[in-house]
Each structure stands twice: as structure tokens, then as C-alpha cells.
Amino acid sequence: MTNTGTSIILISGDTRVSAAVSRALNADPHIALKQLDATLARLNGTAVQLVQEHDLVLFHTDSVRENDISTIQRIREGLGETAILIALTGGDTSLDEAQELIKAGVNDVVSEHLSETEIKAVVDRWVRVIKPEPSHGDGSSRKGQVISVAQSRGGIGATTLAVNLADRLLDRTGFLKKTTQNRVVLVDLDIQFGTVASFLDIDSSDLLYRLAIDGEDPDAVLIQQSLSALDSGLSVLTAPSRMAPLEALSKCQIATLLSLLQENYDYVVVSLPRSLVAWIAQVLECSDKLLVVTDSSVPAIRQTRRLIDVYSEDHLNLPIEIVIGHEAKPMFLAAHHKEAVKVLDKVFQHWIPYDPVAAREAVDRGQPLSLAAPKSRLAKSINQLGKETLIEMKSEKQTKTIH
Ligand SMILES: Nc1ncnc2c1ncn2[C@@H]1O[C@H](COP(=O)(O)OP(=O)(O)O)[C@@H](O)[C@H]1O
Ligand SMILES: [Mg+2]
């Protein structure tokens, strides 16, 4: 592996695929791309050796044959431990074939029909796994910031906030707002009842279920394989579709998971479960900010008070902000608001109006509000919250770097 750039080799006998990959990657000065005009099954020993000298191997395969599998195993054997193997396959590759490829040592299986931007995005994600951004020379790290979202009661819009806050933190600019300024990952740690996957219309990943069952620490490659990548640029780790025992995750697993994500992303948005399990303490330990979504009714405020007491017990310095859901910011606080502010000893920093039409549109379409209902009051309020978060977190980061 070179220190400065990433060496990538593409094995493909299909000129159309080769041309697309080369257009996708050649403009990046940090990538050195070599192309091997060959099919996998025909690689001789010398070619396999040459392939093994690269950080990342992309290969094209039409239909997975036995010869391919044995060549993949041979390549994997001599490939560096951290090197990545990605298969570009035809649209008719079955799930079984994809599984077979993974079993043989492939890290990712993607469609040969991806656009150039999508190919680049897949490669970039894996390059970040091989070469996480280094720490600054002054010792301060570039670790991403963690924002956790909790709720005082079900149905108040915590998941809606987590999903759309994560989307906003991408901070898109440029033509058609296609360029993202931040790398953001959304993690649904509401492992039993999390709904992020259906909010974004993506398949559930089993990672959190497997961690809960196996008790093992996740590694960077496993995490990367388990993330869903949206067209918007947002990465998502969903809750599993199978019911996992909530208590089974360990603090250590959570610490490893979040720390590895922080290495690769600027912002990690965590959607928390309502139950108070031991590993939540670890999430809070890693968090730079906690948003608690509640309504302003007496029972919900009492519950919020209890949550804040528990959450801040061991994390005195954790900034906790209150988000009032289902209520637009009033011109003046009503008497019951003032009472609630006293009970919580915290201002109501954010307000998210009741907007069932926009909320429903987003859920039905399986899209964030920025696509489903960008002009709605709901979208605007979460945009505002996201904007304030970005400003605050950027200045915090600068302060940390200076000191
Ligand atoms: N501000 C809002 N106004 C109206 N409906 C909302 C609002 N926020 C969320 N919803 C809807 O309410 C339901 C529960 O929202 P969700 O975000 O899953 O809440 P929670 O995670 O707090 O349980 C969803 O159908 C969602 O679309
Ligand atoms: Mg929820």
C-alpha cells in the first residue's frame, strides 16, 4: 500500500465496464488505477501476484463460475489483510451467488450498471476503511461528532428527527444540491423497534443482531459491509429485522462500533431506544450532544426530567438539548411551558410543529423530508435545527483544535 494514494486494479474483459470505472476513478489524483484486460478465470499465477500488490481489487464477472471462485480464493490468500476485493456483477446475479462471492473473500458485491458517481462513491467508502483520515500532527483527532436522539415517549417524532437531521447534516451545496460537504452516518440503535429502515425504504442489516448474539467486536470491514448507502450520500446502519435481545449488546461493542464510525464520518447520528439499557451509557460517553424529543404535557415533561437525571448521572458535561415535538414555536411561552422549563431546568431550544401531512408523505415515499416535502413546516424546522447544530459543532471543533 502506498502512503499517499490508493492503488487500485481493475480486472475486466468487458470494455464498457472498464471504460465506466476508468472515467469514475481517473480524475482522482489520490487513486492510481491499473487495468487488466482479462477475465477472472483466465488469470495465470503471475497475474494473480500482480493483482495482490494492490490496495483494492475490482473485478468484473458476468455470471459466477466455479473457476472464478477458486481464482478469488487464490487472490484473497495473498492479498494484504486490509486490502479490499470488490465484485462488479451483472444484474442477474442471484443472492446465492453474491453470498458465494462473499464467502470466497469478496468484501462487496455491486452492480456493473452503477453510474460513474455511484462507482466512485463505493470505492471512496472502501478507501476510507483502508485509510482512515489521519490525526492532526498536534494530537487532536479528526474523529466525527456523535449526536444522539432520545425521546420521552413513543410517537413524538424522534425517528423522524434523527433521519432528517442526518440528511440535513450532509450539508448539500452546488448544482441541484448534489455535492455533500459532510460525511454522515445514521445508526438505528433502537434495535428492537427501530423504524429507520422503513422510513428510508432500505433493507435491514443483520449486523446489530449478530453482534448481540455473537458477543464479538465489530471491525471496520464488517461495519462497512453492513451500511446502506443512499443516493443522497447518507450512510445508514439499520436496526435488524430479527428481534435481538436488547441487553445482549455490550458497552465494548458499542464503543468499538461508534469509534470506527467516527473515524470515517464527520457526523454520526444515533437513534436511541426508549428502554434504559446498560450500553446506552457508552453511547452517551461517546456523544457530543444529546437531543431529547418530548411534548410539553405534564407526564412527558416528568418523564423527560427522569431521563435527563439518568442520562446526566455519569455524563455531567454532556450537552442535552430539549426538542419540543408536535408543537410550533410560540410567540410567547404559555404558563405550562414556563412551568416545564422550571421542572427541567432547561430552555426549550428547538420546536418541531405538528405536520401530519408532510410526515406521512415522507413515510409513504420512504424518503427524507428534503425530497418528500421540502417546503413543509416540518422540513423547515428540522432544517433549522440541523443548521444550528452544524454551526455549533463546527465552532466546537475549531476550539478543540486550537487548544
Ligand atoms: N411533527 C410531526 N407531526 C405529525 N406527525 C409526525 C411528526 N413527526 C413524526 N410524525 C409521524 O408520527 C409517527 C411516529 O413518528 P416517529 O418519528 O417514528 O416517532 P418516535 O420515533 O418518537 O416514536 C410517524 O408516522 C411519523 O411520520
Ligand atoms: Mg422511533
Give the range among 258-267, 310-319, 324-333 with minimum mean pLDDT: 310-319
Sign, CA torsion 250/255/256/260: positive
Pick the CATH number of 6-130 from 3.50.50.60, 3.30.450.20, 3.40.50.2300, 3.30.300.20: 3.40.50.2300
Q: What are 10's strand-pairing partners? A: 35, 58
Place 136 in a pLDDT band, splitting at 50, 70 and 90. very low
Residue 203 or residue 3, greater confidence: 203
List the grid coordinates of 34. 491499473
| Cβ pair 372, 361 in contact under 8 A | yes
Q: What share of the chain is helix, strand, coil (3-state, %, to 5)?
A: 45, 20, 35
User: How confident is the model at residue 141, as a pLDDT?
Assistant: 54
- The pLDDT > 90 percentage for the chain reads 70
User: pLDDT tens, 164-177?
Assistant: 999 999 999 877 77
Q: What is the mean pLDDT of residues 209-234?
A: 94
| Cβ pair 241, 191 in contact under 8 A | no
User: How confident is the model at residue 285, as a pLDDT?
Assistant: 94
Surface-to-core class of residue 264, CB atoms within 10 Å of its CB (0-12 exposed, 13-18 middle, 19+ buried): buried
CA 154 to chain CA centroid, Å, is 23
User: How confident is the model at residue 137, as a pLDDT?
Assistant: 45
User: How confident is the model at residue 316, as a pLDDT?
Assistant: 85
Going by their DSSP bridges, the two strands 235-237 and 228-229 should be labelled as: antiparallel
- CA–CA separation, 72 vs 63, rounded Å? 14
Is 151 close to ligand 1, i.e. is its CB under 6 Å away?
yes
The residue with cell 466512485 is 120
Kindly report the average pLDDT of the chain as a whole number. Answer: 91
| Class of CATH domain 145-402 | alpha beta
Q: Give the Å distance between the CA of 243 and the centre of ligand 2.
A: 15
DSSP class per residue in 263-327: HH-SEEEEEPPSS--TTHHHHHHH-SEEEEEE-SSHHHHHHHHHHHHHHHHS-TT--EEEEEET-
Q: Give the Å distance between the CA of 368 and the centre of ligand 2.
A: 15
Spell out the domain ranges in the chain. 6-130, 145-402
User: How confident is the model at residue 140, as a pLDDT?
Assistant: 47
- Enumerate residues with CB within 5 Å of ligand 2 (an ion): 158-159
Q: Give the Å distance between the CA of 160 and the centre of ligand 1.
A: 6
Instruction: Work out which ligand 1 atom sits closest to the CA atom of 163.
Output: 17
User: pLDDT tens, 6-28?
Assistant: 999 999 999 999 999 999 999 88
Give, as one character, the DSSP assignment of residue 328.
Answer: P
CA 368 to chain CA centroid, Å, is 15
Place 5 in a pLDDT band, splitting at 50, 70 and 90. confident
Residue 309 has pLDDT above 70, yes or no: yes
Q: Tell which one of 160, 324, 352 to mutate to probe ligand 1, the residue whose CB is within 8 A of the most ligand atoms.
A: 160
Q: Give the Å distance between the CA of 189 and the centre of ligand 2.
A: 10
DSSP class per residue in 98-140: HHHHHHTT-SEEEETT--HHHHHHHHHHHHHHHSPPPPPTTS-
Q: What is the mean pLDDT of residues 226-253?
A: 94
Q: Quick check: do 6-130 and 145-402 share a fold? A: yes
Please tell me the residue having the least CA distance from ligand 1 atom 26. 359
